[in-house]
Amino acid sequence: MTDETIAGSADATLSSRELERLRAELDRVDAELRDRLAERIACCVKIAQVKREYGVPMMQPHRIGIVQERAAGFADRNGIDRDFMRRFYDLIIAETCRVEDLVIGAAGGSE
Amino acid sequence: MTDETIAGSADATLSSRELERLRAELDRVDAELRDRLAERIACCVKIAQVKREYGVPMMQPHRIGIVQERAAGFADRNGIDRDFMRRFYDLIIAETCRVEDLVIGAAGGSE
């Protein structure tokens, strides 16, 4: 082995170890992200149950506006792409509306 | 006021209070969800920096498979719609690939 190949192999070991460490960190963050997502959906189910019980109208469009505005502000402060953040919450809100519909038992849309 | 309208108004107060409490809970969960999302992106930036430094190939498709499989398993265990979960991670993975590309400075795709 030349000095160069030894150095190269040391580099490869170093980068593998570093990547392994970062991927373990990513897996931990992902587990928490999934837990929060499940918690969010569970919270919306509870909201839907209260709405059903008391006959409160299903959707409050101004709440969606608040959630999206907060998300946009957060994106700006944290260097996250605004469009991605909007699509991220569009997806989550659409799913929670769908789940709320199921809980409330409405066959109609969630406008 | 009749007994009925008094009862109706008490119900309305109760449901408003309960919804307010649940929405405050939702806002807290959302704040944590956003923090974890930002942490996930930051972690992927660090991974991209290591890859750039050591010349490691940009994408590891088997990692995407692992992330999606874990997400699917989590969805099944927690009564979350599998298709929603897949789209949730498709969106996040596409964004982190885009950000990784920017960090590594590759003009090409992220296949």
Distance from CA of B19 to the nearest CA of A (A): 6
- For residue B77, tell me if it sits in a domain: yes
CA distance B33 to chain A (A): 6
Q: Does a structural domain hold residue B84?
A: yes
Residue range(s) defining the domain that contains residue A100: 3-104
Distance, in Å, from the CA atom of B75 to the CA atom of A7, rounded to the nearest integer, reads 44
Interface A-B, measured as beta-carbon pairs within 8 A, has a size of 109
Domain-located, residue B111:
no
The burial class, CB within 10 Å (0-12 / 13-18 / 19+), for B110 is: middle
Whether B2 shows a pLDDT value over 70: the answer reads no
Chain A residue with CA closest to B92: the answer is: A88
In Å, how far is B108's CA from the nearest CA of chain A? 19
Residue A2 has what pLDDT? 62
Percentage of residues in chain A having pLDDT higher than 70: 86
pLDDT-derived band at A8, boundaries 50, 70, 90: low
Task: Please name the residue of chain B whose CA is at the shortest distance from the CA of residue A78.
Answer: B38
Please indicate, yes or no, if residue A109 is contained in any of the structural domains. Answer: no
- B36 in any annotated domain: yes
Residue-level pLDDT at A6: 65
ipTM associated with this complex: 0.84
CA dist., res. B71 & res. B89, Å (int): 8
Residues of A with CB below 8 A from B33's CB? Answer: 33, 36-37, 40
Query: What is the maximal distance between C-alpha atoms in chain B?
Result: 78
* Binary contact (B91, A88; C-beta < 8 A): yes
Q: Considering the domain boundaries, does residue B38 fall inside one?
A: yes
- Segment B72-107, tens digit of pLDDT: 999 999 999 999 999 999 999 999 999 999 998 854
| Beta carbons within 10 angstroms of residue B83's beta carbon | 11
The count of structural domains within chain A is 1
Are B67 and A36 within 8 A, CB to CB? no
Tell me the DSSP string of B77-98.
HTT--HHHHHHHHHHHHHHHHH
Q: Provide the pLDDT for residue B4.
A: 62
Amino acid at B100: E
Interface test with A, best of B13, B18, B51, B86 (most A CBs within 10 A): B18
Q: What is the pLDDT of residue B107?
A: 40
A110, part of any domain: no
Length in residues, chain B: 111
CATH number of the CATH domain containing B49: 1.20.59.10
